[in-house]
Chains A and B, each alone.
Chain A
């Protein structure tokens, strides 16, 4: 991990590619952009990367296609992959994580989200997570955690548990805090590790 991180950005949006590259480079990373999944599979997939940001929705091979081409499951993937998803598409992002993606960020994302994801992946696994980590949650919080792990939005969780989205929001904040994860991506990672 002493070399300069090498990061691939695969997104069909030119301005997102340019802007992400600027941010990553100004943070001292080497970053290379690919304009869609097919371009990455052709020219980028064989190279070695610290991690790749991969847009879920693209014309031609989309994020899932690229993921499937690279290998099945987290261990089979040659490098960590962080999905970029639309806000409404958390479910797809969570599904991608179950197929092996290391994390995801939602559009619109900030420079902090982008760099945070790099740190997260470089920092390795959150080793402090014990199997009984869920024990500290109340029954209600555990239900919320399970639903969030399915990629449900606050609104959907609220409907499933028959309470207000605002209540879910509060539970969600508590769940993330107690489990010491920053976001749903971290939660999904944690849940998959403890089974």
Chain B
């Protein structure tokens, strides 16, 4: 018969596994693609219980699912399709997509399943994700290494002061112990300062292992501003407006890194100017917006087009990964990172304006 031949051809041609089972789980149909996926020949599977194609943990429960559905009509899978695990003849457990339908044969309800092997896709995804993480780490390290020389220099300040203060205290010790004690306090202050710088560097390079958490907007802004102030030689270029109270959800280290990058860029852009101004302002509406503005030369139209492309740095020592990663991170948090053109930024400082928007942590849905 034409229809039957056509159907048979379809089933055998399909790239996906096509199977059917009886109400008690016995395999009635097992196409060629199924053979390739599971590694069993048709004759090994036909007439056997379908659970042989599942890892043991699921196989044990499968008969229960079937009878529960048949008696209650409540199904988890029928008509929806979902990602489950299968087991090949080799014993290998692999991810697969399974969609299930049913049909009646006489008074009995039978089931058909279509199986797609996802192992290749999942592996690709893991690889991409691994690359992404690596790229982010490189980005973070490049931000750190760009700041590295400056940070090392900053560390030299307290170290030098400590030695000088101690030498001075040593000379005072017998003559004026009270004064020596005062100097010791200054030594401790300098040691604390050195510790602070080291802590900030560690915050920058630390990996968070993708852990997402609730955090305060003020926390990340203040962290970024503090770190950048360490390397800002003028000490006065950076100002931040009062940060409104807002709770965000995601990886605070990553968000802080975006801000460090933006502020660092703004500092670089204004390097050598008589007056240097970098402003960080934030507002909260139904979302959070943080803007980093400067009074540098601004971003030219030509550069603006390629600004967020990787490896397109205009700096001699820049890898050009910074902004592209920042944007990826922002988008990964459901946010956006854009460069606002000069003509749109009448309320700016005359230079570049980068605008980071992030969603607020939803009040519902946690705890």
- Chain A residues lying within 8 Å of B149, measured Cβ to Cβ, are 86, 88
Which of A15-23, A140-148, A155-163, A176-184 lies at the interface with chain B?
A15-23
Contact flag A19-B152 (CB < 8 Å), given A13-B157, A26-B172: no
Query: A123 interface residue, CB < 8 Å from B?
Result: no
Which of A40-48, A94-102, A107-115 lies at the interface with chain B?
A107-115
Contact flag A16-B167 (CB < 8 Å), given A22-B183, A86-B153: no
Among B153, B158, B171, B233, the residue within 8 A (CB) of A15 is B158
- Chain B residues lying within 8 Å of A20, measured Cβ to Cβ, are 164
Among A12, A16, A59, A87, the residue within 8 A (CB) of B164 is A16
Q: What's the minimum C-beta distance from A151 to chain B, rounded to whole angstroms? A: 16
The A-contacting residues of B in range 151-193, CB under 8 angstroms, are 152-153, 156-161, 163-168, 171-172, 183, 186, 189-190, 193
Asked if residues A15 and B152 are in contact (CB atoms below 8 Å), the reply is: no
- Chain B residues lying within 8 Å of A86, measured Cβ to Cβ, are 149, 152-153, 156
- Chain B residues lying within 8 Å of A16, measured Cβ to Cβ, are 157, 160-161, 164
- Chain A residues lying within 8 Å of B193, measured Cβ to Cβ, are 15
- Chain A residues lying within 8 Å of B171, measured Cβ to Cβ, are 26-27
- Chain A residues lying within 8 Å of B157, measured Cβ to Cβ, are 13, 15-16, 107
Query: A57 interface residue, CB < 8 Å from B?
Result: yes
Contact flag A110-B172 (CB < 8 Å), given A57-B233, A58-B233: no
In the assembled complex, the Cα of A5 lies from the Cα of B193 at a distance in Å of 32
Asked if residues A87 and B233 are in contact (CB atoms below 8 Å), the reply is: no
- Chain B residues lying within 8 Å of A87, measured Cβ to Cβ, are 152-153, 156
Task: Type the 1/0 row for B225-261, where 1 means its CB is closer than 8 Å to any CB of A.
Answer: 0000000011100000000000000000000000000
Task: Type the 1/0 row for A5-34, where 1 means its CB is closer than 8 Å to any CB of B.
Answer: 000000011011011101100110000000
Q: What's the minimum C-beta distance from B175 to chain A, rounded to whole angstroms? A: 9
Among B156, B160, B234, the residue within 8 A (CB) of A19 is B160
In the assembled complex, the Cα of A19 lies from the Cα of B171 at a distance in Å of 13
- Chain A residues lying within 8 Å of B235, measured Cβ to Cβ, are 12, 59
SS class, residues of chain A in contact with chain B = helix
Asked if residues A22 and B233 are in contact (CB atoms below 8 Å), the reply is: no
In the assembled complex, the Cα of A114 lies from the Cα of B165 at a distance in Å of 12
Asked if residues A111 and B152 are in contact (CB atoms below 8 Å), the reply is: no
- Chain A residues lying within 8 Å of B165, measured Cβ to Cβ, are 19, 22
In the assembled complex, the Cα of A109 lies from the Cα of B186 at a distance in Å of 17
The B-contacting residues of A in range 81-131, CB under 8 angstroms, are 86-88, 107-112, 114
Asked if residues A110 and B183 are in contact (CB atoms below 8 Å), the reply is: no
Asked if residues B163 and A110 are in contact (CB atoms below 8 Å), the reply is: yes
Asked if residues B164 and A23 are in contact (CB atoms below 8 Å), the reply is: yes
Asked if residues A108 and B152 are in contact (CB atoms below 8 Å), the reply is: no
Q: Nearest CB to that of A114 among chain B residues?
A: B164
Contact flag A12-B233 (CB < 8 Å), given A18-B186, A87-B156, A111-B168: yes
Q: What's the minimum C-beta distance from B30 to chain A, rounded to whole angstroms? A: 67
- Chain B residues lying within 8 Å of A88, measured Cβ to Cβ, are 149, 152-153
Contact flag A26-B168 (CB < 8 Å), given A87-B156, A88-B153: yes
Pick 17 A–B contacts, CB within 8 A, sort by A. Answer: A12-B235, A15-B190, A15-B193, A19-B160, A19-B168, A22-B164, A23-B168, A26-B167, A26-B172, A57-B153, A86-B152, A86-B156, A88-B152, A107-B153, A108-B160, A108-B163, A111-B168
A residues contacting B by CB (< 8 A) are 12-13, 15-16, 18-20, 22-23, 26-27, 57-59, 86-88, 107-112, 114
Q: Can you add 9 more A-B contacts, CB < 8 Å, to A18-B186, A57-B233?
A: A15-B186, A16-B161, A19-B164, A19-B186, A59-B233, A107-B160, A110-B160, A111-B166, A111-B168
